[in-house]
Structure 1
């Protein structure tokens, strides 16, 4: 398993480097305070090239100082009385933690951030709870190299569980809490008991999308369907860190236990009228079969025939009452799932970031990577290159250091000189073409 305490590890890799992150960006200014330092000095074109290069080094220090100052202000703002102000600070920290890796800086302020997260989870509503839940996971991503990451997870777990189970809370907040529980356990969890406990909680939540006793579809709103889909995806993520033998023992066509639902119940989710639920359920079944077949190549072979018929219908669905975009996405996803379950075709993906390549093989690897992408967005490349926790999870080895010359950007003065030379060449060539045109005319 990838990461600390994981028991599976067959995701290959190649060596290389990565990209650098941008500076802190707030809700009111997408460029952030750090960027203003650079832009304020970039218009001075009277400097010599070597002086400009020296100033570039000074600029980097100034940018870092501005970044840290803006980050400190955002952390302090998490405790303000204004709910709108707190939400803005949460959003700013989310964006920053997603695109920049600063574990030492965050480690020194982890208690302040954790207290603010827990307070907003308990007293906040809707968007604030959602943002606080996401920030708890991003905090774990930043602190992954420290033991304090596990402490943070333990401190916020009970509150996340309380909200996820609270039917009076907003569906959006509950969805993010489900994701946070699964992601936190995946990133830094090392207790099988916690994994089983959270898996049971999540399976109880998405049980609301099972067929009724008479075989009829349940009435599920769009908001609740999103909650169920989040619970299924988070539950599936937890399966990827379990040993194949444990999954085989806990899951089966008609096996019943206190931890996992039987496969026949999971297959009912494929009939949901909501696309997200169907896609999440399909991915869950693919992961289960991958783990089950790793333990026993004949895993649920007889029941598979019935499942294949259902998957074929979904992979060729042309019902006009579904949106064209939904039909296209459904067919593409379920074609991959069908090819794997029916023919054993293992999905392979190559992810390029910087000069490195991440090789993903199988549904477990794809599920883990997609979950990290959902959390980090465009910042995934930064963390794959620099974050020791993610490099450990995906078996990328030690961080690759780029040569200084390769990573140094061209100075502003040199770019200006190059542009002027290019313009002069263009003018000269234009004159030469005019002379040739005159000669041809004669």
Structure 2
């Protein structure tokens, strides 16, 4: 049988690196001289500028943030609803995690127009994001004249959303938070009273069993307004306020119960600034309800929920009975910590955290308005956590870490050993 003819010769194996060698051979002496001159120029510039210019680095950071804000604003102009939501969410994320008034002030009219547009004609999800964006912009601008104009323009739109029962409870809840923040920053007592009346109306029509988020947001916003009212006014209305807040201690939602307990503590704290021995007419009923939650062992609640509830209400009972103030500390930077010894400060911090989320630490370091609220002094700046250390200090820290690690390993080994004597 004849052999089959080969269709073609096998190609010769390609040498590895052949093309690279050819390109290397094609490089001329002139190219080498140019590359060498560029390298020498770079080394010269580095040697002449050994320290980085802080102003130039800050300008680059501002330009980068401004570019991200512009990209998100362009997304809000897109036809796709999902893209619009992504743009609003991106703006909230950028401005909540970065304190950048230098970027917000030149674009505040554009940002305000974007917020107004979505508050008027947006979907429920877009209204939630735009209301939160409005609150973040207020914190970025601080107590400036523009903020007062900003709040006056947004107040009617947010009030309509809050009072409209056809809107989702998430949109109404965020509208109440933004309204309270605006009043807290630039509002006066008449504005507070008008908003409180609106809160009372909405609470009267809200179904506690199905609108937990709305009830929690309104009670928290009401507590924030109480911290900005005069103590005599709060004392004169303390009985009615504590009775109304106490009705929500029996809610099935743990967040609503916690907000009601904190609101009662804030009310009594403001009243006791005038009369240290103040006790409302219904103190026995309120105290009985709070004590029941502080010693809660209900079987219809999970162990975790009951444990957290007891931890939240024990300080409230201690304050109402004996006047013991809370004492909590939050680390602001490596050089500073925020110590809170009043219910008003604790409530304000949780309220700001509700708006800013994880960006609260950045604003505690740099936001002048928030630092002024908590009396933290001047802004620390973005480099507050950078501490210059010598080589000896770094070595001492490393030795300390190694000693702790060794002690931890020995301790865990002893705990694992069944023959160890405890």
The TM-score range, normalised by the shorter chain, is 0.7 to 0.9
Alignment partner of 2:304: what SS?
helix
Aligned ranges for residues 46-195 of structure 1 at < 5 Å? 51=46, 61-186=59-184, 188-195=185-192
Mean CA deviation greater in 342-351 or 63-72? 63-72
- Judge conservation of contact 1:145–1:388 (CA < 8 Å) in 2: no
Matching residue of 1:356: 336
Alignment partners' CA distance in 1, 2:57 and 2:223: 45
Q: CA deviation at 1:174?
A: 0.8
Sort the Cα spacing of 1:335 and 1:103 in 2 relative to 1 into closer, same or farther, 3 A.
same
Residues 84-123 of structure 1, C-alpha deviation per residue, up to 9 Å, x if partnerless?
1121111111111111111122111111111111110111
- Partner of residue 9, structure 1: none
| 2:378 aligned counterpart, secondary structure | coil
Tell me the equivalent position of 1:196.
Answer: 193
* 1:345 maps to 2:324: yes
1:108-156 per-residue CA deviation (whole Å, 9 max, x = no partner) reads 1111111111110111112110000000010001111531011111111
SS of 1:101's equivalent?
coil
Q: Aligned partners of 1:51 and 1:61: how far apart in 2?
A: 20
CA distance in 2, matches of 1:250, 1:271: 22
Task: Quote the Cα distance in structure 2 between the aligned partners of 1:228 and 1:180.
Answer: 15
Higher CA-based Rg = 2
CA distance in 1, matches of 2:367, 2:130: 22
Residues 121, 129 of structure 1: 8 Å contact kept: yes
Range with bigger deviation, 64-73 or 398-407: 398-407
Mapped partners of 1:235, 1:161: distance in 2: 15
Per the alignment, residue 318 of structure 1 pairs with 297
Matching of residue 238 in structure 1 with residue 235 in structure 2: no
What is the CA–CA distance in structure 1 between the aligned matches of 2:383 and 2:108, rounded to whole Å?
Answer: 33
Instruction: Find the aligned partners of 2:142 and 2:256 in 1 and give their Cα distance.
Output: 31
Aligned Cα root-mean-square deviation (Å): 3.0
Indicate conservation of the 8 Å contact 1:350/1:360, yes or no: yes
Q: Which has the higher helix share?
A: 2
Separation (CA, whole Å) in 1 of partners of 2:75 and 2:179? 25
Q: Describe the shift of the 1:317–1:61 C-alpha distance in structure 2 as closer, same or farther (beyond 3 A).
A: same
Q: Residue 255 of structure 1 aligns with which residue? A: none
1:220 equivalenced with 2:199 (yes/no) = no
The offset of 1:305, in angstroms, is: 2.3
Q: TM-score, normalised by structure 1?
A: 0.72
User: Contact 2:62–2:103 at 8 Å: present in 1 too?
Assistant: no
Partner in structure 1 of residue 404 of structure 2 = none
Greater relative contact order (Cα 8 A, min sep 6): structure 1 or 2?
Answer: 1
Distance, in Å, in 2 between the alignment partners of 1:157 and 1:403 is: 37
After alignment, is 283-292 or 348-357 more displaced? 348-357
- Structure 2: unaligned runs, 5 residues or longer: 1-38, 395-422
SS in 1 for 2:282: helix
What corresponds to 1:367 in structure 2?
347
C-alpha contact 1:203 1:235 (8 A) present in aligned 2: no
Distance 1:313 1:393, change over 3 A: same
Q: 1:328 to 1:207 in 2, by over 3 A?
A: farther
Q: Does 1:385 align with 2:365?
A: yes
1:55/1:328 Cα in 2 relative to 1: closer, same or farther (>3 Å)?
A: same
Q: Residues 50 and 133 (structure 1 numbering): CA distance in 2 closer, same or farther, change over 3 Å? A: same
